[in-house]
Structure 1
Amino acid sequence: MNSDIFLLVGGVGMFLMGMDVMTRALKDIAGSNLRGILARFTTTPLRGVLTGAAATALIQSSSATTVMTVGFVGAGLMSLPQALGIIYGANIGTTATGWLVSLLGFKLQLETVAMVTLLPASLINLLGRGGLARAGQVVAGLCLLLIGLELMQNAMAGATGLLRPEALPQGGLWGMLALAVAGLALTVLIQSSSATVALALVMLQGGSINLMQAAALVVGMNIGTTFTALLASVGGARVMRQAAVANLAFNVITSTIAFPLLLVLGPGLERLAAATGPLTALLMFHTGFNLAGTTLFLPMTGRFTALVARLVPARDEGGLALGLDRALLSDARAALTAARGASALLATRMFAALSAALQDQPDYRRLSALEPEMAKAIDELAQFLANLRLPADLPAEEEVYSALLHEADHLRRLLHRAGQKDRIQSLVEDRILRRPAVLMGGILARAASESGRYLESDRLARLETLIRHRTGRHRRGLLLGEHAGLYTLTEVFAHTDAMRWLQRVVHHTERIGYYDRTALRGLQQEAPPAA
């Protein structure tokens, strides 16, 4: 019996290792395509469902999809209703692993093939480069998964004399609830719903549990898989916590609905098992109640979003919660995409405040509200970028990273200029400099209102030339006026400083727009093909 326990533990460990290796390789292969799909092709909750299901089936990990989605919501790259669609779909997509395990591990019985294939796949992984190495990782991970599955099957075959369905809670609400709690706890402990579903399939195949007990375990496992996303949202922005709570609520409500259905439809499930086999029946139940939950929630996404907003109410976040989740640092392109979204928010706030001040009747209230939250937010962005480690040989990512660092620096310098309100007052009072100052205010207003940063580079360049020309003439006129007694020396210095201030504001604004466009071009490039 002791050897069976060791065999079972080792089998679960090998299954987890195989799943992790395969998932990481599939994520690398999907790369920017997956991130682009998640961020761009979720314009409606229904499209989010399809996207989430396909992405999860592709990378074989609902936790990875959900955590990535929570991070994108925190970064402002998608709204909560869009994220809910992906969350619904991820719960459907995660059932693909069970079907894969059932087909390859139980029906085709490819364990011997996996043993033979593991060595060449590992060699390809070790000796290959780029896409070839990743393909070797996928095959090696699948081999480990199948070998671990066989170890679990052998262990359960030796334990059938001791572990029987009669030794576990039987039918009825409380018995099913106890099994669901056991499935939940096991999934939280192992941190892989795929491994726990595979274990339930092995136990069902070996006769250690019956179909109804296996179904109750799977219901609990469906709730346990939300734990990873909850952890990822800790310390994040409010919308990140909302996404994680929505994921938990969706799974809890779906599982709660599945319980009475399981009790009522139990005889029908048994008849289905007699016709198709217990494994297929269990997987159809698992897929079915996730489809039913999605069908129920999808039309009510708007109301569900409002409910989640009440469950996770707003708290004071200084108005500048960037949502730069540290979990995104493991994925360079996703982290860079989030950082660009954060810099867009900061630039929009600063441009709006400056545009309100650069008017014939200046309004300084927004400028006064920028500090100290804006400085802290820029520090947060800079620290996030400092913690990011880029993979080697990715020039597009390096260009984006450099552009965002420069952009953060110009944001900091522009914030310093924004605090010099006396310069603005001097500009507005100067009849020669008032027009270019108000013109700059209009450009900043458009940049703040149209998709974050619509900056007219040509107009900025012409404005900078105009200001430089006027500044040169105006400085000479001021100095002559001071000699003639028309201006005091203090007035000359004040207006000269105001001219220099406007020149620097135009320069920093133009640089922010330039580096933003550079970052955007780099992010829009597909990942280079693997060598």
Structure 2
Amino acid sequence: MMAQALPALGGIGLFLLGMKIMTDALREAAGAGLRRLLARFTTTPLRGVASGALTTAVIQSSSATTVMTVGFVGAGLLSFPHALGVIYGANIGTTVTGWIVSLVGFKLRLGTVAMGLLFMASLALLLTEGRMARLGRIAAGFSLLFIGLDMMQDSMSGAGGWLHPDRMPGDGIGGVLVMAFVGLAMTVVMQSSSAAVAVVLVLLDSGALTLMHAAAAVIGMNLGTTFTALLAVLGGSRAMQQTAAANLLFNFGTMLIAFPLLMISAGTLQDIAMRTGADTALVLFHTAFNLLGTAVFLPFTDRFAGLVARLLPEPSATTPPELDDRLLSDEGAAMQAAHSVLHWAARDVLNAYSAALGPDRDLRRLSALEPRVVPVLDQLKDYLARIVLPRDKPDEAATYAALMHQVDHLTRLLEQSSRRSFIPILTARPVTLRPVRWFARCMSPEKDLSLFGIGTRLARMSGVIDGRFRRQRRALLLGEHAGIYSVQDTFDTTDAMRWLARIMHNVQRLGEYDQTVQNKLGRTDMPAPQS
């Protein structure tokens, strides 16, 4: 028995290692595209299902997709209801691994061929860099996966001798529940439902498990995969906790749907197993109950989101998005999180200037900016400093540079907010009052303009405003010479106009760089700011 157990454990280890290497490499290769897919295409729960299924099928890990989604919600990149669609889709996408194992791994036995592929992949890893090295890692992970699968099959071929029926629970409700718990425990230990499904498929193929036992174990695995996301939100924002809780509740609901489906369709599954093989019948059942669970939950997504929000209410709607350290492993996702926080801070600053320069001259928000926004910017600067940029991605470097410029211009706006004494001077003269009021309306949340929209309007009007200010300065100098204005009035008004011009310049540049960041990150659908 020990002679069988050790190679079996080694095979499972190789499968897990191959899955890890392949998943990380695929995620890195498709990183920017997947981020754009999740941030742009996930505009409805139904589209979220499609993007979640596709993402999971590409990176071969529902846990990775779920954790990525949880992080994106915490960073403000996805709304909570839209993230639910991604979670639904991830359950569908994770069944692709079972199909690959069943249709390719069992039918073709690629372990021997994979040895040669592993040699080529190793050469690519040792002798190349960049894209070719990444392809080598994908191929190496793919090879290890099938080598491990072959080892599991060979070592477990006699498992039916010691896992005979009298040692296993029956096929009734009690036995099904026991096997579901076994499947759950396997997934929690392995941290991979795909690997756990592969082990169950191997045991089913060797005759050690009946189809009912294997199906029950797969049902438990769906719930076990939620523990990775639960671990990922420890210390996270409330939005992240809501997403992880929704993932747990959805998978629990799907499990409750799957048990009656298994009992009702037991005879049909046996017929399918007789015609196509037990492994194909199991993967078909796995896919069917995940599709059914999605079909049941999808029409009620908004109500489901409301239920979770009531169970875990948001503490405050005015807090900035979460800067999650777990996103630092993906520089693009980390920069998207940084951009969300910067966008929040920029809107707070611009709204405060709008209130102060508007007709009501409400200086309260401008006075409160430093204690409110400076700590957020300090955290943002520290977060940006910890992002590691790859050398072979110039677009990422350009995005990072644009973000740094935005932080710099926002810092200058905060420093300029302390010169509030200039506001009464500017609003006392009609010639400066008009550009002041126009600028305040541009930044008002009621105008519903993006940062880039505000920057574009300022760029169009900057020449007109500069000309107006130059003429006013000349008029002040002439008036002072004629005794109409005092020297102090002339200096105060000139300094006030220069102060406003600098603020307008910083806001304009903030908007211009924001367009660069959005284009590079694929976030042209960034929502208009709110107060």
Q: Which residue does 1:399 correspond to in 2?
A: 398
The letter for the 2-side match of 1:189 is V
The letter for the 2-side match of 1:234 is L
Instruction: Identify if the C-alpha distance between structure 1 residues 347 and 417 changes in structure 2 by more than 3 Å, giving closer, same or farther.
Output: same
Instruction: Identify if the C-alpha distance between structure 1 residues 494 and 303 changes in structure 2 by more than 3 Å, giving closer, same or farther.
Output: same
2:209 match: secondary structure: coil
The 5 Å alignment of 1:136-215 reads 136-215=136-215
1:36 maps to 2:44: no
Measured after TM superposition, the shift of residue 401 of structure 1 is 0.5
Instruction: Identify if the C-alpha distance between structure 1 residues 3 and 471 changes in structure 2 by more than 3 Å, giving closer, same or farther.
Output: farther
Q: Distance in 2 between matches of 1:340 and 1:350?
A: 15
Instruction: Identify if the C-alpha distance between structure 1 residues 452 and 178 changes in structure 2 by more than 3 Å, giving closer, same or farther.
Output: farther
Kept in 1, the 8 Å contact 2:156–2:203? The answer is: yes
Structure 1 gap segments, 5+ residues each: 526-531
Kept in 2, the 8 Å contact 1:448–1:454? The answer is: no
Measured after TM superposition, the shift of residue 492 of structure 1 is 6.0
Provide TM-score, normalisation by structure 2.
0.91
Measured after TM superposition, the shift of residue 396 of structure 1 is 1.6
Kept in 1, the 8 Å contact 2:451–2:514? The answer is: no
Q: Which residue does 1:528 correspond to in 2?
A: none
Kept in 1, the 8 Å contact 2:451–2:511? The answer is: no
Give the stretch that moved more between structures: 201-210 or 284-293. 201-210
Which of 490, 499, 502 matches 2:497?
Answer: 499
Kept in 2, the 8 Å contact 1:352–1:448? The answer is: no
Q: Distance in 1 between matches of 2:299 and 2:481?
A: 73
The letter for the 2-side match of 1:427 is L
Q: Distance in 2 between matches of 1:435 and 1:470?
A: 14
- Computed over aligned residues only, the root mean square deviation of the Cα atoms, in angstroms, reads 2.5
Q: Distance in 2 between matches of 1:229 and 1:488?
A: 66
The letter for the 1-side match of 2:416 is R
1:52 maps to 2:47: no
Q: Which residue does 2:527 correspond to in 1?
A: none
Instruction: Identify if the C-alpha distance between structure 1 residues 169 and 467 changes in structure 2 by more than 3 Å, giving closer, same or farther.
Output: farther
Q: Distance in 2 between matches of 1:480 and 1:81?
A: 66
Give the stretch that moved more between structures: 347-356 or 367-376. 367-376
The letter for the 2-side match of 1:294 is T
The letter for the 2-side match of 1:237 is S
Kept in 2, the 8 Å contact 1:51–1:86? The answer is: yes
Q: Which residue does 1:284 correspond to in 2?
A: 284
Q: Which residue does 1:224 correspond to in 2?
A: 224
Q: Distance in 2 between matches of 1:92 and 1:502?
A: 55
Measured after TM superposition, the shift of residue 166 of structure 1 is 2.8
Instruction: Identify if the C-alpha distance between structure 1 residues 68 and 464 changes in structure 2 by more than 3 Å, giving closer, same or farther.
Output: farther
Which of 505, 514, 521 matches 2:512?
Answer: 514
Instruction: Identify if the C-alpha distance between structure 1 residues 236 and 454 changes in structure 2 by more than 3 Å, giving closer, same or farther.
Output: farther
Q: Which residue does 2:23 correspond to in 1?
A: 23
Give the stretch that moved more between structures: 302-311 or 371-380. 371-380
Q: Distance in 2 between matches of 1:15 and 1:345?
A: 43
Q: Which residue does 1:472 correspond to in 2?
A: 473
> Would you say how many aligned residue pairs link Structure 1 and Structure 2?
521
Measured after TM superposition, the shift of residue 433 of structure 1 is 2.5
Give the fraction of aligned pairs with identical amino acids, expressed as a percent. 49
Kept in 2, the 8 Å contact 1:114–1:143? The answer is: yes
Q: Which residue does 1:351 correspond to in 2?
A: 350
Q: Which residue does 1:426 correspond to in 2?
A: 425
Q: Which residue does 2:526 correspond to in 1?
A: none
Instruction: Identify if the C-alpha distance between structure 1 residues 497 and 447 changes in structure 2 by more than 3 Å, giving closer, same or farther.
Output: farther
Measured after TM superposition, the shift of residue 438 of structure 1 is 1.4
Measured after TM superposition, the shift of residue 245 of structure 1 is 1.5
The 5 Å alignment of 1:186-335 reads 186-316=186-316, 319-335=318-334
Structure 2 gap segments, 5+ residues each: 524-531
Q: Distance in 2 between matches of 1:467 and 1:414?
A: 22
Instruction: Identify if the C-alpha distance between structure 1 residues 185 and 454 changes in structure 2 by more than 3 Å, giving closer, same or farther.
Output: same
Instruction: Identify if the C-alpha distance between structure 1 residues 485 and 36 changes in structure 2 by more than 3 Å, giving closer, same or farther.
Output: closer
1:2 maps to 2:14: no
Give the stretch that moved more between structures: 300-309 or 179-188. 179-188
Deviations 1:466-512 (A, max 9, x none): 4641563366368558xx596585x6665454333212211211221
Q: Distance in 1 between matches of 2:447 and 2:10?
A: 57
Deviations 1:241-281 (A, max 9, x none): 22222111111110122122223332332233223221111
Q: Distance in 2 between matches of 1:83 and 1:415?
A: 34
The letter for the 2-side match of 1:104 is V
